Structure 1
Amino acid sequence: MFKKVMTIIFEKRISNATTSSTKTRPSHIFNINNNNTTLITRYYASESQNKDKPNKKELRSRRALFYVPGSEERKVNRSRTSKADCIVYDLEDGVAFNRKGIAREMVFDTLEASEPGTSEKAVRINAVGSGLDLDDLNVVLRSTRLQAIVIPKVQTPKDIQFVSRMIDSVATDATKTTIRLIASIESALGIMNIKEIATSDPRLDALIFAAEDYCADLGLIRTSSRKELAYARQVIVTAACAYDLQAIDLVCLDYNDDTILTEECQEGKEMGFVGKQAIHPRQVDIIQQTFLPDDKDVNRAARIIQGFKHHTDKGIGAFSLDGKMIDLPMVKWAEKIIARAKAGGVTIPTPPPIE
C-alpha cells in the first residue's frame, strides 16, 4: 500500500512540474510493482505546440558548423564539396553591408542548386531587429532546400519566436515543418535568459556559444586558457541538456594551428558540447573526428545497453560490467553515445551474447 501511494504522489509531482514547461521532453519516473523497479518514459506535450511544427525525432549530427561568407562566390562554390555536418551560409558578420543584397541572392541560388546529401544546409541571418533580418528571411525562406536558420545575437525568446512566425508565413510547404532553428548566445543578457530562450519554440534545435561577442559584451580579456569563458559555456551545455537541445562550442580563431584546435575540441567534448563552429575548411576534419564518439566508448555503450535490457528482463536494476556498477545514469550516458555515433554515420557493433 505504501509503495502504491508513493508512486501516485511521485507521478503527481512530475505531472504538476510539467505544466509550466513550454517544451516537449521526456520525464522519467519509477513504477514500483511486485518489488521490481521498471523505467517508464512519458512525454508531456505543451498545449501551445502547433501541429504544423516539426517533430524532432531525427537527430541531426552537427559536429562541425562551417561558416561560408555568402557574398564570396569562390568560397560559396567550394562549399559544395564540404563534408561538414552543417554548412552555414553567412549573411551576417561575414558580409559587408553594401553586399547584403548580393549575398542573399547568391545564397538562395546556391541552396536551390544544392543536392540532398549528408551536409545540413543552413543560413545565418542578420540579428532580429537589425533592420536586415526581414529581407534575409523573405529571400532564403523561399528555398526548398533550406534546412536550418542560425539566429545570431539571441537575447530573448522573442528573437526565436519572430523567426518561427516568419517560417509559418513565408516558408514553402516542403520546408515549413522541417526547418530547425539554432540560437547563437552572444551576450550577458542571452546567458541570463537562457532558460526562456531554450524553451521558446519547438523548432529550436541547438544553442551556439559565440565567445568573441560575449567577451566584447562583458569586457572580458580573452586568454589561451579560456577560463574566463567557463561559466558561460557550462550554462549553455546545462540548458541544452535540460531542454533536449544540442550545444555547439566556440570558434577556434587559430585556424592554422591544429594543436590548439584539437585541444579546444577535446576540451569542449569533455564539457558536454556535441560540436564546434568552424571558420576555415581545414578545421572541419579535425572537429568532426574529435567530436565523434571513439570506438572504445561506442563499444562500451553498446554493452551497457545490452546488459541493461538483459538484467531488466530478469527484474534486476543495477548490474556489474567489467567490475564497475552500472545503473540508470550510466544507461542514459550510453544512449547518448550511441545516438551521437549513429548520427555521425558510425556502425554500432553488436556485443556478444550474455551467458
Structure 2
Amino acid sequence: MSTNVRSAGRPSGLARPRSLLFAPGNRADLIAKLPRSAPDAVVIDLEDAIPGTPEAKAAARPVARDAARDLIAAAPHLPVFLRVNAVHSPYFAEDLHVLTPELAGVVVPKLERADDVRQVVNALATSGLTLPILAGLETGAGVWHAHEILREDAVRWAYFGAEDYTTDLGGRRTPGGLEVLYARSQVALAARLTGVPALDIVVTALNDPARFREDAELGRALGYAGKLCIHPAQVALAHELFGATPAETARARALLAAAHDAATQGHGAFSFEGQMVDEPMLAAARAILAQDHAGLPHAGGTHE
C-alpha cells in the first residue's frame, strides 16, 4: 500500500550514496575487485551487463549469487546490491532466486508505475524476502510517474537512466545532454519531494575524467545525491564532486555555531562573514553536515 513519505515505513535521514559502482553479474573476477576503489555501494548487474538471451541470463545467475555471497563475506561493511531485470521482462521471476537477505537491496530497472513497485514487493514476499528497492527511472512512463513511484515505501533510493530513456523516446544522445535535461530534472525534483536520494546518469566515456567531472557537476547542481559509476576510476571523482569539501564542512559548522550563539543571546537575526543569515542558509549548512556524516547501511533486508 502506498503511504505518505513521512510515514513510519520510510525512516528519516536516509543515506545519500555518492557513488554506486556496477560490475557484470557474470564476472566474478571483477566483482571481487569492487571494494578496491572504496565506493559507497556496489551493484552486481544481471540486466544491461548480461546479453539478452535466456542462455546468457541463466548462466550469469549462479555466478552473481556466489560472487555476491563471497563479496559480502570479504567486505562486510560494503553495501552490495543486485540489479535484476525489469519486472515485465521474461527474466525477472528467475532473477529473484538469486536474491538473499544479506543484500543491502535490490535494484529494479525501468519501473514505470507504482503498481510495478507493488508487484516487486509481492514477488519478494512470495520468496520470503523483504528488501528495499533502488528504483530505476529510465523510460518516458517512469519519468512521467516518478513521483508516484518514489512515494512507495519500499523505494529507498532511485536513479535516472539517460541511455534507456532516450532510446524509449526514439531520440539520440548528444554530448551536451540537452535531450535528457527535462527528464533528469523531473527525477531530481520527484526525489526531493519524496525524500528519496537519487543517483545521476552514467558517463560512458571511461577514459575522460573531464567529461565525467563536467557531467557530475551538472548532476549535483540539479540536486542529485551521487553518481552511477561503471569504472573504478569514476568513484573518486564522484566522491569529490558530490561530497562536502573540508572547507564547506568547516564553514557549515561555524555558521551553525554562530546561529546557536545568537539564539542563546536572544537574537533572531545576525550576520555571518558579512552576510545577513536567513533560514535557507541554515538549512543548507545542516544539509552539508548531514551529507558529510551520512553512511549507507549494509543490511537492508530481512528474511521472513
**TM-score over 0.5 (shorter chain):** yes
- Listed as ranges, the gaps of 5+ residues in structure 2 are 297-304
Paired residues of 2:14 and 2:156 also in contact (CA < 8 A) = no
Which residue of 210, 223, 227 maps to 1:259?
A: 210
Paired residues of 1:182 and 1:207 also in contact (CA < 8 A) = yes
User: What TM-score, normalized by structure 1, do the two folds share?
Assistant: 0.76
Partner of 1:15: none
Which residue of 125, 132, 136 maps to 2:95?
A: 136
Aligned AA (1:164):
V
Which residue of 125, 130, 133 maps to 1:168?
A: 125
Matches within 5 A, 1:18-167: 22-25=3-6, 45=7, 56-57=11-12, 59-96=14-51, 97=53, 98-113=55-70, 114-115=72-73, 116-140=75-99, 143-167=100-124
Aligned AA (1:197):
I
Flag as ranges the 4+ runs of structure 1 deviating above 4 A: none
Deviation at 1:57, TM superposition (A): 4.0
1:72-118: per-residue Cα shift (whole Å, max 9, x none)?
23222322544111110001111122221222212221222223544
For 1:65 and 1:180, how far apart are their aligned partners in 2?
16
Matches within 5 A, 1:306-325: 306-325=257-276
Paired residues of 1:237 and 1:247 also in contact (CA < 8 A) = yes
Aligned AA (2:98):
V
My pick for the range that moved more, 229-238 or 163-172, is 163-172
User: What TM-score, normalized by structure 2, do the two folds share?
Assistant: 0.88
1:5-60: per-residue Cα shift (whole Å, max 9, x none)?
xxxxxxxxxxxxxxxx82333xxxxxxxxxxxxxxxxxxx3xxx6xxx5x534633
My pick for the range that moved more, 274-283 or 105-114, is 105-114
Partner of 1:231: 182
Return the structure number with greater relative CO, CA threshold 8 A, min gap 6: 2
**Length, aligned pairs only:** 291
My pick for the range that moved more, 316-325 or 235-244, is 316-325
**SS of 1:122's equivalent?**
strand
Bigger strand fraction? 1
Matches within 5 A, 1:157-306: 157-171=114-128, 176=130, 179-199=131-151, 201-306=152-257
Deviation at 1:171, TM superposition (A): 4.2
Larger radius of gyration: 1
For 2:270 and 2:121, how far apart are their aligned partners in 1?
45
Paired residues of 2:212 and 2:234 also in contact (CA < 8 A) = yes
For 2:263 and 2:94, how far apart are their aligned partners in 1?
55
- Listed as ranges, the gaps of 5+ residues in structure 1 are 1-20, 26-44, 346-355
1:125-168: per-residue Cα shift (whole Å, max 9, x none)?
1000112111111331xx24201111101110112122222333
Aligned AA (1:147):
A
